[in-house]
Amino acid sequence: MLIAIIEDEEDLLELLEFNLLQEGYDIVGFLNTKKVKDFIIEENPDLLIVDRNLPKVEGVNFIKELKKEGFNIPVIFLTAKNSEEDILEGFEAGADDYITKPFSMAELKARIKAVLKRNNKFSSFLSYKNYKLDLNNKKLIVENQEIDLTNNEFNLLKIFFENPKRVISRNEISEIFEINEKSVNVAVNRLNHKVNLLKAVRGIGYKLD
């Protein structure tokens, strides 16, 4: 499980990184939001832990923008803003949980597990309509029948299943798979011959149909 933490207090960030690494999570920390979006596009983390008092941006506004752009990643706010209005604002922005400082590390760990479980991050399957991706065995299943996919086709479809509402640009796919955009179109067409799940968005890329 990959968790990105955005926290501008360096000592606290290091403490969070140390404790969550001990739990077996992969952790990447950021002191501001400058490179976070690029990281999300490239690495697709399973969870964001976000302070609200960040340099030059309010954490709530940053998450609102991500959600508006279609990034569907679970979010926990970890912040000193603790009024009822603040908490409601956090949930309205799309947070899955809201933890106020000071906090218990044991409680944070428990809440992380709960959020990941609620968002099926511990599941070995990703689902869309009547399709299921078996992540352990790298198979696509529909109505109890397996559809044979190459490793690249499976990984390509996985990106869309992880972001079911988002348009994935050709450029983004080309960077992930280290291929040119013409090869992206070929790969998508080959996949659609098998499952016909991806729809072209003119001038941008593809999304699940």
DSSP letters spanning 57-101: EEHHHHHHHHHHTT----EEEEES--SHHHHHHHHHTT-SEEEES
Q: What value does the mean pLDDT take over residues 103-107?
A: 95
Please tell me whether residues 112 and 172 are part of one structural domain: no
For residue 160, what is the domain's CATH number? 1.10.10.10
At 121, is the pLDDT very low, low, confident or very high (cuts 50, 70, 90)?
Answer: low
Residue 181 C-beta-side C-alpha neighbours within 13 Å: 9
- The CA distances from residue 170 to 17, 92, 102, 179, in Å, are 33, 31, 43, 10
Does 26 reside within a domain?
A: yes
pLDDT at residue 123 in the model = 61
Q: What value does the mean pLDDT take over residues 99-119?
A: 93
Does 48 reside within a domain?
A: yes
Does 137 reside within a domain?
A: no
At residue 49's C-alpha, the angle toward residues 48 and 50, to 5°, is 105
Query: Are the C-beta atoms of 140 and 149 separated by less than 8 Å?
Result: yes
* Tokens 């952790």 -> residue: 27
At 205, is the pLDDT very low, low, confident or very high (cuts 50, 70, 90)?
Answer: very high
pLDDT at residue 134 in the model = 86
The residue out of 69, 100, 118 marking a domain boundary is 118
pLDDT at residue 98 in the model = 97
- The domain of 60 spans 2-118
Name the DSSP class of 167.
Answer: P
pLDDT(130) > 80: yes
Please tell me whether residues 105 and 197 are part of one structural domain: no
Does 10 reside within a domain?
A: yes
What is the total count of domains within the chain? 2
Please tell me whether residues 152 and 112 are part of one structural domain: no
How many angstroms separate the CA atoms of 65 and 165, rounded?
15
Cα-trace Rg, the chain = 18
Please tell me whether residues 101 and 27 are part of one structural domain: yes
Does 126 reside within a domain?
A: no
* DSSP notation for 179-198: --HHHHHHHHHHHHHHS--E
How many angstroms separate the CA atoms of 48 and 46, rounded?
7
Does 130 reside within a domain?
A: no
At residue 14's C-alpha, the angle toward residues 32 and 100, to 5°, is 70
Please tell me whether residues 52 and 106 are part of one structural domain: yes
Show the tokens assigned to 50: 């976000």
Please tell me whether residues 59 and 17 are part of one structural domain: yes
Give the mean pLDDT of the chain.
92
pLDDT at residue 62 in the model = 96
pLDDT at residue 122 in the model = 63
Does 92 reside within a domain?
A: yes
Q: What is the pTM of this model?
A: 0.62
pLDDT at residue 57 in the model = 93
